Structure 1
Amino acid sequence: MVRGGQGLARVACVVRAGAAPLWWLGVVAAGIGVLVPGLTGRRIGVLAGAVLFVLAAAFVAGTRRKRYAALARGAARAAKHDVLQDRAVTVRNWRRRHRWWLLLAFLAALGGSFAAPAAGGMLLAGCGAGLWWKAGWLGRRERAEETLLWVRVDWLRGGGRPAGKAVGAYRATGVAAGDAAPGGARRRTAAPV
Structure 2
Amino acid sequence: MNTQTRTEHRIRYGMVMDTRKCVGCNACVLACKNENGTPHGFTRDWITTTTRGRFPKLSMEIRSERCNHCENAPCVTVCPTGASHITDTGIVLVDHDKCTGCKACIAACPYDARFIHPAGYADKCTFCNHRVEQGLDPACVSVCPTESLHFGDLNDPDSEVSRLVAENEFKVLHPEAGTRPKLFFLV
TM-score category, normalised to shorter length: under 0.3
Greater per-residue strand proportion: 2
Larger of the two Rg values belongs to structure? 1
TM-score for the superposition, normalised by structure 2: 0.24
Q: Which has the higher helix share?
A: 1
